[in-house]
Amino acid sequence: MLLQKTFYLIKTKTLVSIFFYESTFGNMKTILGIILALILVSCKKDKQEQLDGKYVFSHIVIEPNELYSKDYSSNSQLKIRQFLKYHSRILANRLFENSPLDSITKAYMGTGIEVKNQELLFTKNGAFLRALEFTVQNNLIYAKIDTPTFSGSLESFDYFNRLYKYPRPIILKTHGSFSEEIKYLRQYFITQEDDNIVFPVFGYLLLRTGIDGVDYGVTIQKEINNDYNTSFMNTSITPDTMIVIRYKAVLKKQK
- The region of weakest confidence among 99-113, 141-155, 192-206, 228-242 is 141-155
63 and 247 Cβ atoms separated by less than 8 Å: yes
- DSSP bridge pairs for 199: 249
Question: What is the pLDDT at residue 192?
Answer: 93
How far is it, in rounded angstroms, from Cα 104 to Cα 107?
5
Question: What is the pLDDT at residue 66?
Answer: 93
Q: What is the distance, to the nearest Å, from the Cα of residue 19 to the centroid of all Cα atoms in its chain?
A: 47
77 pLDDT more than 70:
yes
2 pLDDT more than 50:
no
Q: Dump pLDDT digits (tens) for 135-167.
A: 998 889 999 886 666 666 777 788 788 889 998
19 and 216 Cβ atoms separated by less than 8 Å: no
More confident residue, 86 or 122: 122
For the chain, give the number of residues.
Answer: 255
More confident residue, 157 or 129: 129
Question: What is the pLDDT at residue 128?
Answer: 95
Q: Give the number of other Cβ atoms within 10 Å of residue 21's Cβ.
A: 10
Give this prediction's pTM. Answer: 0.73
Q: Give the number of other Cβ atoms within 10 Å of residue 133's Cβ.
A: 12
| Mean pLDDT along residues 87-111 | 74
φ/ψ region of 38 (left if φ > 0, alpha if ψ in -120 to 50, else beta) reads alpha
Question: What is the pLDDT at residue 172?
Answer: 72
More confident residue, 142 or 3: 142
Helices (H), the chain: 2-51, 77-87, 89-96, 100-108, 154-161
Q: Dump pLDDT digits (tens) for 17-73.
A: 434 444 454 555 565 555 554 544 444 455 566 789 999 999 999 998 999 988 889
